[in-house]
Amino acid sequence: MRTPREVREVAVVVNTASRRGAAALERSTAALAAAGLGTVRTHPVRDGAQLAATLDRVVADGPDLLVVGGGDGTVGCAAGRVAGTATTLGVLPLGTANDFARTLEIPSDLEGAVAALVGGRVVDVDLGRVDGRPFLNVASVGLSVEVTERLTPALKRRLGPAAYPVATLAAYRHHRPFSARLEFPDGDHEPLEVDDLLQVAVGNGRHYGGGNTVSPLASIDDHLLDVYAIERGRLRDHVSIARFLKDGTFVEHERVHHVTTRRVRLTTDPVRAVNLDGEVVARTPAVVEVERNALHVVVPRTSRAAVLDGRRADEAR
Q: What is the 3-state secondary structure (H, E, C) of the chain?
A: CCCHHHCCEEEEEEECCCCCHHHHHHHHHHHHHHCCCCEEEEEEECCHHHHHHHHHHHHHCCCCEEEEEECHHHHHHHHHHHCCCCCEEEEEECCCCCHHHHHCCCCCCHHHHHHHHHHCEEEEEEEEEECCEEECCEEEEEHHHHHHHHCCHHHHHHHHHHHHHHHHHHHHHCCCCEEEEEECCCCCCCCEEEEEEEEEEEECCCEECCCEECCCCCCCCCCCEEEEEEECCCHHHHHHHHCCCCCCHHHHCCCEEEEEECEEEEEEECCCEEEECCEEEEECCEEEEEEEEEEEEEECCCCCCCCCCCHHHHHHC
211: how many CB neighbours lie within 10 A of its CB?
14
Contact 161, 108 (CB under 8 A): no
Which residue is catalytic, options 146, 231, 279, 289?
Answer: 279
Please say if 146 is a catalytic residue.
no
Distance CA 83, CA 277 (A): 17
188: how many CB neighbours lie within 10 A of its CB?
12
Give the residue among 136, 118, 119 at the shortest CA–CA distance from 127: 136
Query: What is the set of active-site residues?
Result: 279
